[in-house]
Amino acid sequence: MPLVKLTDMLPGGRWAIPALNVENMEMAQGVVEAAEALRAPVILQTTPGTLKHAPPALFVSMISALARSARVPVGLHLDHGDSLDLVYDALEAGYTSVMFDGSKLSFEENVTATARAVAMAGGVPVEGELGAVGGKEDSHSARAELTDPAQAAEFALRTGAAMLAVAIGTAHGVYAVEPKLDMKRLSAIKAAVSIPLVLHGTSGISAQQVRSCVMRGVRKVNVATELRAAFTQGVRSSLSENENAFDPKIYMGAGRARVRAVAEDWIRVCGAKGKA
Ligand SMILES: [Zn+2]
Report the percentage of the chain scoring pLDDT > 70: 97
The rounded Å distance from CA 2 to ligand 1 centre is 26
In a domain, 276, yes or no: no
Question: What is the model's pLDDT at position 141?
Answer: 53
Q: Which domain holds residue 86?
A: 6-270
Question: What is the model's pLDDT at position 140?
Answer: 55
Look at residue 11 and tell me whether its pLDDT is greater than 90: no
Give the tens place of pLDDT for each residue, 124-173.
999 999 988 877 665 555 567 899 999 999 999 999 999 999 999 988 88
Whole-structure pTM value: 0.95
In a domain, 54, yes or no: yes
How far apart are alpha carbons 235 and 24 in whole angstroms?
Answer: 13
In a domain, 1, yes or no: no
How far apart are alpha carbons 173 and 124 in whole angstroms?
Answer: 28
The rounded Å distance from CA 133 to ligand 1 centre is 7
Asked if 166 and 193 touch (Cβ cutoff 8 Å), the reply is no
Interaxial angle between packed helices 25-37 and 56-68, expressed in degrees from 0 to 180 and rounded to the nearest 10? 30
In a domain, 275, yes or no: no
Look at residue 34 and tell me whether its pLDDT is greater than 70: yes
In a domain, 111, yes or no: yes
The rounded Å distance from CA 22 to ligand 1 centre is 13
Q: Give Cα separations from 144 to 38, 107, 168, 202 (angstroms).
A: 34, 15, 9, 14
In a domain, 253, yes or no: yes
The rounded Å distance from CA 169 to ligand 1 centre is 12
Name which of 44-48, 124-128, 159-163, 203-207 the model is least confident about.
Answer: 203-207
The rounded Å distance from CA 245 to ligand 1 centre is 35
Give the tens place of pLDDT for each residue, 64-104.
999 999 999 999 999 999 999 999 999 999 999 999 999 99
Look at residue 222 and tell me whether its pLDDT is greater than 60: yes
Domain harbouring 137, CATH code: 3.20.20.70
Catalytic residue annotation: 79
Asked if 144 and 54 touch (Cβ cutoff 8 Å), the reply is no
The number of domains in the chain is 1
